Amino acid sequence: MKPEQLAEALETAASQLGVKVRYETLAAAGPTGGGGLCKVKGEWFIIIDRKTGASERVSILGEALATMDTEHIFLPPKVRDMLVQRRAATRKASS
């Protein structure tokens, strides 16, 4: 899959999980580069800088969705594999 296709699949997954994806003009990039997951007034959002390229969007979306339960939604195999790898890397880093 191309980065643009991966980003689209991850955005669809976020929507299925009730997470809103917003593209904003961010004044300063944070430690993740251009956005991330946050909760505002009880709602989950993934906010991404408008200037962020497709590969970085995939990284931000993947990192955010790897923290959530995606077992009950459809994900293309490549997307599911990516999230499994991110979860494993996170567990390994925290050990």
Say which CATH number the domain at 31 has: 3.30.2010
What residues contact 93, with CB distance under 8 A and at least 6 apart? none
Q: Which contiguous run of DSSP H or E holds residue 18?
A: none
Do the domain assignments include residue 83?
yes
Q: How many CA atoms lie within 13 A of 21 on its CB side?
A: 22
Report whether 37 contacts 45 (CB < 8 A): yes
What is d(CA 62, CA 81) in angstroms, rounded to the nearest whole number? Answer: 11
pLDDT of 13 > 60? The answer is: yes
Task: Evaluate whether residue 77 is within a structural domain.
Answer: yes
This prediction has a pTM of: 0.88
Residue 37 domain boundaries:
3-90
Q: How many domains does the chain have?
A: 1
pLDDT at 91: 83
DSSP 50: T
* Average pLDDT of the segment spanning 85-91: 89
Kindly report, residue by residue over 15-71, the tens digit of the pLDDT.
999 999 999 988 765 554 578 999 999 999 999 999 899 999 999 999 999 999 999
